[in-house]
Structure 1
Amino acid sequence: MTAIFNPTGPAPLGPPVPRTPEPAVTPTVTAVGPVGPVLTLPGSPAAALVPVTRDGRAVGAFVLADGRVRYRALPDPDRMLAAAAGAAAVALLTAGVAVVARRRPPAIGTVTMGPGGWVSLRGARVPALRPATPRPWWARLLRAQRLVVRR
């Protein structure tokens, strides 16, 4: 953007040139298009502001100060609102998935008291029975006994 306002390139280094303060002039020409009129700002270092608009909304401004041109973008409130809504949706979705993933069905069903004080475990899964496997060869060789109480 510097080339637009200073086509010869940067100024050569040398002794500083004293600046004469320029009088503040209000523009009389209205700009047509996306770039507004040059606004001179009051102050000891001369500065100018050129607003930039798109679809009737201000999107930024060129600031000319101290021999430099900078573009300052303005935050778009619609984009900020959309980004905040998107972040909130992702956070809610993540929290919902975490809550559903942590939920586990109970190991047994409802525990109720049956007739005579017996505990009823309706819906409990019956443990699988062990298949009747023959004893391993080493247990037969050592005549090992099981450590289960026999009734």
Structure 2
Amino acid sequence: MTAIFNPTGLAPVAPVPRQPAPAAPPAPAPPPGPVGPVLELPGTPAAALVPVTHEGRPIGAFVLDRGRVRYRRVVDPDQFVAAAAGAFAVAALTAAVAVVARRRPPAINTVRMGPGGWVSLRGAPAPALTPDRRPWWARLLRARRLVVER
């Protein structure tokens, strides 16, 4: 048995397998456009569907059925939730304003008992001494009658 050694005295190294030549890189796919591929729908009569997108989100589809083309919008759940939240906020604000507006202040402020037993209505508006029967323009001009009323 004969062994062949290389000049360094080590066993020969197995040859490295050849790598196949790299294939040409695939052509980049065209960027997705606003209109997708035509989708054939099963059934009779035949129908076709063409999806429409905006910034990667579906916004609708063209439907070809019985020789007519119709556009159908897709309901966006995010917009639906935002609209519902906005409507709820407006309704809650309106209800809060209605509750606050219906609350009437008390006719008089706190009733207190003063020294000696007299009652104090501090902060109550003074009643009008006599009813004012002048027309609105006379009150606006602060006009008074020349003849004394009885």
| TM band (smaller chain) | 0.5 to 0.7
- 1:31–1:72 CA distance, 2 compared to 1 (3 A): farther
Within-5 A mapping of 1:1-151: 32-111=32-111, 120=119, 122-123=121-122, 125=124, 127-128=126-127, 130=129, 136=150
DSSP-derived class of the 1:45 partner:
coil
Question: 1:100, CA displacement in angstroms?
Answer: 1.5
Question: 1:101, CA displacement in angstroms?
Answer: 1.2
CA contact (8 A) 2:111 2:122 kept: no
Gaps of 5+ in 1: 1-29, 137-151
Counterpart for residue 18 of structure 1: none
Residue correspondences, number: 104
- 1:50–1:119 CA distance, 2 compared to 1 (3 A): farther
Gaps of 5+ in 2: 1-29, 131-147
Cα displacement string for residues 117-143 of structure 1 (whole angstroms, at most 9, x for unaligned residues) = x68454362644737xx872xxxxxxx
CA contact (8 A) 2:45 2:66 kept: yes
The one-letter code matched in structure 2 to 1:68 is R
- 1:52–1:119 CA distance, 2 compared to 1 (3 A): farther
Counterpart for residue 25 of structure 1: none
Which whole-Å CA distance do the structure 1 matches of 2:95 and 2:74 have between them?
A: 33
Bigger radius of gyration, 1 or 2?
2
DSSP-derived class of the 1:59 partner:
strand
Which whole-Å CA distance do the structure 2 matches of 1:115 and 1:58 have between them?
A: 80
Cα displacement string for residues 38-76 of structure 1 (whole angstroms, at most 9, x for unaligned residues) = 111110210111111111111111111101111100012
Which whole-Å CA distance do the structure 1 matches of 2:128 and 2:70 have between them?
A: 80
Which whole-Å CA distance do the structure 1 matches of 2:56 and 2:125 have between them?
A: 73
TM-score (norm 1): 0.56
Structure with more relative contact order (C-alpha pairs < 8 Å, separation 6 or more): 1
- 1:95–1:125 CA distance, 2 compared to 1 (3 A): same
Cα displacement string for residues 68-87 of structure 1 (whole angstroms, at most 9, x for unaligned residues) = 11110001222222211221
- 1:46–1:72 CA distance, 2 compared to 1 (3 A): same
Which whole-Å CA distance do the structure 1 matches of 2:112 and 2:85 have between them?
A: 47
User: What's the % identity of the aligned pairs?
Assistant: 62
